[in-house]
Amino acid sequence: MSLNIQKPVTMQQIARLAGVSRPAVSAVLNNRENSSIKVSQEKRERILDIARNLKYRPNLAAIQLTGKRDKAVGIVHSCYVFGIHDEMIRRLAIQLRLAGYKSFFVPVTDPRQELETLNELASRGFAGILASYSLVNLKQQDYPMPVVMISENLASYDIGVDLKTGFHTMTRHLLAHGHRRIGFLCSTLKYNALKLEGLREALAEAGIPWKQEYLVELSWNAGFAEQILNLIRKERVTAFAVAGDLLANRFMHWLRRQGLRVPEDIALFGTDGLEAANQGLVPLTTIVQPLDCIARRAVNLLLEKIDQPGRQQSSGKPELIQPLYRISRSCGCPEHQEKTIYWEGIPLTLEHSSPYIEPPPPELEAEEILLTQQEILKLL
């Protein structure tokens, strides 16, 4: 999708309207206090007022010709994803600050607003854009500045988390517990198709056919309760893969109101690795998204594109970052023991609240575990 960038007002036009020279406008709009050109306070205010009313924006092409670039990066993020992604924005801002860049966060609510926002950032001479879980399938060639796409759900992206492998691995873990009928719970399949694909592949490898009725989409689904209870009581589903930790916690509360226990009656695992995984009825087994790794790779890639303009075009091969896994009680394993208790400054994710350690032998007391894919396969 191409940008339709409107022709911006120029400094020369502002100078004509303000009755001053173009260098005087340049000195005011570029905030050059040490400039040899002196502008009275009255004319300065008039210039700024005209520029504001005409929505003046710095000319990106002119900035590039002078070799100057604003050390500012826009972080554009959908308002419809939250939880783990809110924390990722913070990590991105930290990485940009460490690299000497300012960050400006813009939440967007619809594709049209997102394109308008990108238009705005482009015309203001931003050094680059980090688009996190965009609402539109952006393409680098459509934009005059470097763009890094963070999302595994788009047709074209730069960096994402390999959640397909994550669900494949955790489904195998449920199979190892003896579950053969495993449901899939999500808000809407549109944004969770890769997760379901991983689950289905693990079932197929075990010779278990997937039944489409085992999929439960909760958004705008007034009949979800009947659907889930039918799966449990008639289809004998004994476990669920849940596309989100917050959703998994709510599901546990709902199961309790139906007289069902986790994991004795229904086993489950979540996704994301939020600290909320420690705050449900039962400590949650969950797929942990490595946010620090995502933020570092995204910012480093953006900086490479900024420093090497020839690299702006995507190689066409996105980078998939492997998730981690926290094993606890909800899947049927022994409950972990936290090694650290946070009373203040509670972390939003499990990524740094627990050490990454090898899983203990079954006969030993369970520990707090964050595992790689290779490590969790040792449990199977």
pLDDT of residue 262 exceeding 80: yes
pLDDT of residue 95 exceeding 90: yes
pLDDT of residue 111 exceeding 60: yes
Higher-pLDDT residue of 333 and 28 is 333
pLDDT of residue 114 exceeding 50: yes
- Identify the CATH number of the domain defined by range 163-290+322-377: 3.40.50.2300
DSSP string, 159-202: EEE-HHHHHHHHHHHHHHTT---EEEEES-GGGTHHHHHHHHHH
pLDDT of residue 236 exceeding 60: yes
Contact 78, 135 (CB under 8 A): yes
- One fold for 67-160+292-321 and 163-290+322-377: yes
Contact 92, 61 (CB under 8 A): no
Report domain extents, the chain: 11-56, 67-160+292-321, 163-290+322-377
Q: How many helices (H) and strands (E) does the chain have?
A: 12, 13
Q: What was the pLDDT predicted at 77?
A: 83
pLDDT of residue 214 exceeding 90: yes
User: 11-56, what's its fold?
Assistant: 434 Repressor (Amino-terminal Domain) (1.10.260)
Sequence-ordered list of residues with C-beta below 8 angstroms from that of 377, at least 6 positions apart, any chain: 169, 172
pLDDT of residue 277 exceeding 60: yes
What value does the mean pLDDT of the chain take? 81
- pLDDT category of residue 353 using cuts at 50, 70 and 90: low
Which class is domain 67-160+292-321? alpha beta
pLDDT of residue 295 exceeding 60: yes
